[in-house]
Amino acid sequence: MAAEIIPLDLSRIFEHFPVLETERLVLRELIGSDTEDLFAYYGDPSIKDYVSYSAFKSIDIARDEIGRIAEGFKAHKFVEFGVARKSDNRIVGVCTLHHISPDHHRMELGYGLARAYWGFGYMTEAVREVIRYAFEEMGIHRIEAECETGNIRSCRVAERCGMTLEVTRQENEINKGRFVSNHVYAIIRK
């Protein structure tokens, strides 16, 4: 007879914002002094193709976003890391654990990187560390990531981090007035 699987107690995760480190990066809480870096990422119109939100039109929106992220963490809804380079502490992107289900030991992973930092392996490095954290520190069993089918760079990050393409959801969302299809990647703790 198999042992009963009980829901995860993740309250300790939300006591203090976690800080993760890799060789070149620190994944940490976003703070007010990160506003300009966050605006540089979210305000870039070139990111609009594969995300459901519009580029930020003002730095005030970036400031409000930092507040929204802090509130989401306090409410135990999600953990959104700012991805900072160790060399200069600049925020180059974000990595988010969301749709966290303690009952089912699963969560979703989202990530994005400012265009100026594409091609350096930063996001792969960050996602690998977040996956490690979710499995080893949180006790998560399954992590999923959903990427628009045309977003080849995001798909490659998922694949480089050991995630497997499980399904393609045909025209399952509307993004900027058009139907889009999404690849669903997953990884299970070994």
Q: How many CB atoms lie within 10 A of CB 135?
A: 17
Whether residue 181 is contained in a domain is answered as no
Compute CA 128 distance to the chain's CA centroid, rounded to the nearest angstrom.
Answer: 11
Domain count, the chain: 1
Cα distance between residue 53 and residue 172, in whole Å: 16
CA atoms within 13 A on the CB side of 54: 6
Asked whether residue 73 is assigned to any structural domain, the reply reads yes
Structure confidence by residue, pLDDT tens digits, 13-64: 999 999 999 999 999 999 999 999 988 888 877 766 666 667 788 899 889 9
Q: Is 183 within a domain? A: no
Q: How many residues are given for the chain?
A: 190
Question: 159 lies in a domain?
Answer: no
Edge to edge, the sheet with strand 79-85 lists: 20-21, 25-28, 79-85, 91-101, 106-113, 142-148, 178-188, 164-175
What token pair was written down for 71?
């509130």
pLDDT at 176 (0 to 100): 77
- Kindly state whether residue 62 falls inside one of the protein's structural domains: yes
Q: Is residue 176 part of a domain?
A: no
Q: Which of 160, 158, 154, 157 is nearest to 144 (CA)?
A: 158
Q: What is the mean pLDDT of the chain?
A: 92
Range of the domain at 51: 11-140
**CA-wise closest residue to 29 among 42, 40, 16, 39:** 16
* Predicted pLDDT of residue 1: 63
97 located within any domain: yes
> Taking each helix axis from N to C terminus, what angle separates 35-42 and 59-74, rounded to the nearest 10 degrees?
110
Confidence of residue 86 (pLDDT cuts 50, 70, 90): very high
Q: What angle do CA 7, 11, 16 make, to 5 degrees?
A: 150
CATH of the domain at 106: 3.40.630.30
For residue 43, the model assigns a pLDDT of 80
* Residue of 135, 154, 151 whose CA lies nearest to 143: 135
What was the pLDDT predicted at 108? 97
Closest CA to 111 of 122, 100, 120: 122
What average pLDDT does the segment 155-172 reach?
96
Task: Specify the pTM.
Answer: 0.92
Residue 85 included in any domain: yes
Mean pLDDT of 52-78: 89
What pLDDT does residue 140 have?
96
